[in-house]
Amino acid sequence: MGLSTLAIEWGQLLQPAIYNTALPKAVVADQVNLTIYFAKFATAAQLLQPLQMAMDNLQKKYGSWKIPWGQINRLQRISPEIDNLFDDERPSLPVGFASANWGQLPSFVSRSFAGTKKRYGYNGNSFVCAVEFGKKIKARSLLAGGNSGDPASPHFFDQGDMYSQGKFKEVLFYKEDVMKGAKKSYKPGN
Protein backbone atom coordinates (compact mmCIF):
# COMPACT_ATOMS: atom_id res chain seq x y z
CA MET A 1 0.00 0.00 0.00
CA GLY A 2 2.99 2.33 0.10
CA LEU A 3 3.17 3.00 3.83
CA SER A 4 6.96 2.59 3.83
CA THR A 5 7.20 5.08 0.97
CA LEU A 6 5.03 7.59 2.79
CA ALA A 7 6.85 7.09 6.11
CA ILE A 8 10.29 7.59 4.56
CA GLU A 9 9.25 10.61 2.49
CA TRP A 10 7.58 12.12 5.58
CA GLY A 11 10.59 11.35 7.76
CA GLN A 12 12.91 13.08 5.31
CA LEU A 13 10.75 16.21 5.46
CA LEU A 14 10.83 16.05 9.27
CA GLN A 15 14.62 15.68 9.48
CA PRO A 16 15.50 19.39 9.55
CA ALA A 17 13.13 19.94 12.49
CA ILE A 18 14.41 16.80 14.21
CA TYR A 19 18.04 17.95 13.87
CA ASN A 20 17.11 21.37 15.30
CA THR A 21 15.44 19.90 18.39
CA ALA A 22 16.80 21.39 21.61
CA LEU A 23 17.78 18.72 24.12
CA PRO A 24 18.44 19.04 27.84
CA LYS A 25 22.20 19.40 28.47
CA ALA A 26 22.41 15.98 30.13
CA VAL A 27 21.05 14.20 27.03
CA VAL A 28 23.40 13.07 24.25
CA ALA A 29 22.43 14.69 20.94
CA ASP A 30 22.28 11.58 18.78
CA GLN A 31 19.71 10.59 16.13
CA VAL A 32 17.66 8.50 18.55
CA ASN A 33 17.40 11.14 21.30
CA LEU A 34 16.72 13.93 18.82
CA THR A 35 13.90 11.91 17.25
CA ILE A 36 12.41 10.90 20.62
CA TYR A 37 12.40 14.49 21.91
CA PHE A 38 11.06 15.87 18.64
CA ALA A 39 8.19 13.35 18.59
CA LYS A 40 7.41 13.99 22.25
CA PHE A 41 7.12 17.77 21.92
CA ALA A 42 6.15 18.35 18.27
CA THR A 43 2.90 20.17 17.61
CA ALA A 44 0.20 18.73 15.38
CA ALA A 45 1.11 21.28 12.70
CA GLN A 46 4.81 20.32 12.85
CA LEU A 47 3.81 16.72 12.13
CA LEU A 48 0.80 17.06 9.84
CA GLN A 49 2.06 19.75 7.45
CA PRO A 50 5.09 17.66 6.36
CA LEU A 51 2.85 14.56 6.14
CA GLN A 52 0.49 16.37 3.78
CA MET A 53 3.46 17.69 1.79
CA ALA A 54 4.87 14.15 1.47
CA MET A 55 1.49 12.87 0.24
CA ASP A 56 1.17 15.75 -2.23
CA ASN A 57 4.74 15.26 -3.54
CA LEU A 58 4.21 11.53 -4.06
CA GLN A 59 0.85 12.12 -5.73
CA LYS A 60 2.38 14.66 -8.10
CA LYS A 61 5.44 12.57 -8.95
CA TYR A 62 3.92 9.07 -9.15
CA GLY A 63 0.15 9.60 -9.44
CA SER A 64 -0.47 8.18 -5.94
CA TRP A 65 0.97 8.44 -2.46
CA LYS A 66 0.28 4.69 -2.07
CA ILE A 67 3.19 3.61 -4.29
CA PRO A 68 5.11 0.56 -3.00
CA TRP A 69 8.61 1.37 -1.71
CA GLY A 70 10.35 -1.23 -3.87
CA GLN A 71 8.71 0.18 -6.98
CA ILE A 72 10.62 3.45 -6.63
CA ASN A 73 13.56 2.45 -4.36
CA ARG A 74 15.99 0.73 -6.72
CA LEU A 75 19.43 -0.85 -6.95
CA GLN A 76 21.21 -0.22 -10.24
CA ARG A 77 24.91 -0.95 -10.66
CA ILE A 78 26.63 1.85 -12.56
CA SER A 79 30.23 2.31 -13.62
CA PRO A 80 32.27 4.88 -15.53
CA GLU A 81 32.59 2.18 -18.23
CA ILE A 82 28.80 2.03 -18.72
CA ASP A 83 27.80 5.64 -18.19
CA ASN A 84 27.95 6.35 -14.45
CA LEU A 85 24.41 7.77 -14.53
CA PHE A 86 21.29 6.24 -13.05
CA ASP A 87 18.62 5.65 -15.67
CA ASP A 88 14.95 4.65 -15.23
CA GLU A 89 15.10 2.87 -18.62
CA ARG A 90 17.90 0.47 -17.62
CA PRO A 91 17.32 -2.66 -15.51
CA SER A 92 17.25 -2.17 -11.74
CA LEU A 93 16.18 -4.19 -8.73
CA PRO A 94 13.59 -3.31 -6.07
CA VAL A 95 15.07 -2.76 -2.61
CA GLY A 96 13.05 -2.74 0.60
CA PHE A 97 15.88 -1.22 2.65
CA ALA A 98 16.10 2.38 3.82
CA SER A 99 18.70 4.67 5.37
CA ALA A 100 20.30 3.80 8.71
CA ASN A 101 18.71 7.08 9.89
CA TRP A 102 15.52 5.02 10.24
CA GLY A 103 17.23 2.14 12.06
CA GLN A 104 17.78 0.01 8.95
CA LEU A 105 20.67 -2.39 8.47
CA PRO A 106 21.91 -2.81 5.88
CA SER A 107 21.61 0.89 5.25
CA PHE A 108 20.49 1.83 1.74
CA VAL A 109 20.41 5.58 1.13
CA SER A 110 18.57 6.52 -2.06
CA ARG A 111 17.26 9.56 -3.88
CA SER A 112 16.11 10.67 -7.31
CA PHE A 113 18.76 11.98 -9.69
CA ALA A 114 18.56 14.37 -12.64
CA GLY A 115 16.36 12.73 -15.27
CA THR A 116 14.99 9.98 -12.98
CA LYS A 117 11.64 9.53 -11.27
CA LYS A 118 12.79 6.50 -9.30
CA ARG A 119 15.17 6.66 -6.35
CA TYR A 120 18.54 4.92 -6.63
CA GLY A 121 20.84 3.74 -3.87
CA TYR A 122 24.03 5.77 -3.74
CA ASN A 123 25.26 5.26 -0.18
CA GLY A 124 25.05 2.72 2.61
CA ASN A 125 26.44 -0.66 3.53
CA SER A 126 28.01 -2.36 0.55
CA PHE A 127 28.95 -5.33 2.75
CA VAL A 128 27.27 -6.80 5.82
CA CYS A 129 28.45 -9.86 7.72
CA ALA A 130 26.99 -11.73 10.68
CA VAL A 131 29.39 -13.99 12.56
CA GLU A 132 28.58 -16.70 15.10
CA PHE A 133 31.49 -17.56 17.37
CA GLY A 134 31.64 -21.03 18.88
CA LYS A 135 33.64 -24.23 18.50
CA LYS A 136 33.43 -23.58 14.77
CA ILE A 137 32.97 -20.07 13.35
CA LYS A 138 29.91 -19.64 11.15
CA ALA A 139 29.34 -16.53 9.10
CA ARG A 140 26.94 -15.23 6.48
CA SER A 141 27.46 -12.16 4.36
CA LEU A 142 25.65 -9.86 2.01
CA LEU A 143 27.34 -7.83 -0.71
CA ALA A 144 25.70 -5.09 -2.77
CA GLY A 145 26.20 -5.69 -6.46
CA GLY A 146 29.15 -7.97 -7.05
CA ASN A 147 32.84 -8.54 -6.46
CA SER A 148 34.03 -7.01 -9.72
CA GLY A 149 34.10 -3.41 -10.88
CA ASP A 150 34.33 -4.56 -14.50
CA PRO A 151 30.91 -4.40 -16.23
CA ALA A 152 32.00 -7.22 -18.56
CA SER A 153 32.67 -9.59 -15.64
CA PRO A 154 29.99 -12.12 -14.64
CA HIS A 155 30.70 -10.97 -11.06
CA PHE A 156 29.87 -7.29 -11.69
CA PHE A 157 26.25 -7.61 -10.50
CA ASP A 158 25.84 -11.31 -9.70
CA GLN A 159 24.95 -10.65 -6.04
CA GLY A 160 22.56 -7.75 -6.68
CA ASP A 161 19.46 -9.94 -6.59
CA MET A 162 20.53 -11.54 -3.29
CA TYR A 163 21.26 -8.10 -1.83
CA SER A 164 17.92 -6.65 -2.93
CA GLN A 165 16.12 -9.54 -1.23
CA GLY A 166 18.27 -9.55 1.92
CA LYS A 167 19.49 -13.11 1.26
CA PHE A 168 22.77 -13.78 3.00
CA LYS A 169 25.28 -16.28 1.61
CA GLU A 170 27.55 -18.60 3.58
CA VAL A 171 31.09 -17.33 4.18
CA LEU A 172 33.69 -19.99 3.42
CA PHE A 173 36.06 -19.52 6.35
CA TYR A 174 37.91 -22.82 6.83
CA LYS A 175 40.36 -24.22 4.25
CA GLU A 176 38.31 -27.36 3.63
CA ASP A 177 35.21 -25.25 2.94
CA VAL A 178 37.13 -22.91 0.63
CA MET A 179 38.59 -25.88 -1.28
CA LYS A 180 35.17 -27.52 -1.57
CA GLY A 181 33.65 -24.28 -2.91
CA ALA A 182 36.54 -23.38 -5.25
CA LYS A 183 35.72 -23.05 -8.94
CA LYS A 184 39.40 -23.37 -9.85
CA SER A 185 42.70 -23.41 -8.01
CA TYR A 186 46.38 -22.90 -8.74
CA LYS A 187 49.72 -23.22 -7.01
CA PRO A 188 51.87 -20.07 -6.94
CA GLY A 189 55.07 -20.53 -8.93
CA ASN A 190 53.57 -23.01 -11.37
Dihedral (CA of 85, 91, 77, 67) sign: positive
Q: What is the pTM of this model?
A: 0.83
* Predicted pLDDT at 184: 85
* Predicted pLDDT at 121: 93
> Backbone dihedral region of 124: left (phi > 0), alpha (psi from -120 to 50 degrees) or beta?
left
* Predicted pLDDT at 31: 87
- Per-residue pLDDT tens over the stretch 55-97: 999 999 999 999 999 999 999 988 877 677 999 999 999 999 9
Cβ atoms within 10 A of the Cβ of 161, count? Answer: 11
pLDDT category, 1, cuts 50, 70, 90?
low
* Predicted pLDDT at 23: 92
Q: What does 8-39 look like in DSSP terms, one character per residue?
A: HHHHHHHHHHHHT----TTS---HHHHHHHHH
Kindly list the distances between the CA atom of residue 36 and the CA atoms of 103, 156, 184, in Å, as whole numbers in the listed order: 13, 41, 53
Is it the case that residue 187 has pLDDT exceeding 90? no
- Per-residue pLDDT tens over the stretch 35-55: 999 999 999 999 999 999 999
Question: What's the mean per-residue pLDDT of the chain?
Answer: 91
Comparing C-alpha atoms, which of 132, 97, 92, 130 is closest to residue 113? Answer: 92
Is it the case that residue 136 has pLDDT exceeding 90? yes
pLDDT category, 173, cuts 50, 70, 90?
confident
Cβ atoms 51, 43 nearer than 8 A: no
* Predicted pLDDT at 169: 92
Cβ atoms 74, 118 nearer than 8 A: yes
* Predicted pLDDT at 146: 85
Q: Helix count (H) and strand count (E) of the chain?
A: 6, 7
* Predicted pLDDT at 51: 98
More confident site: 173 or 94: 94
Q: Which amino acid is at 187?
A: K
More confident site: 142 or 16: 16
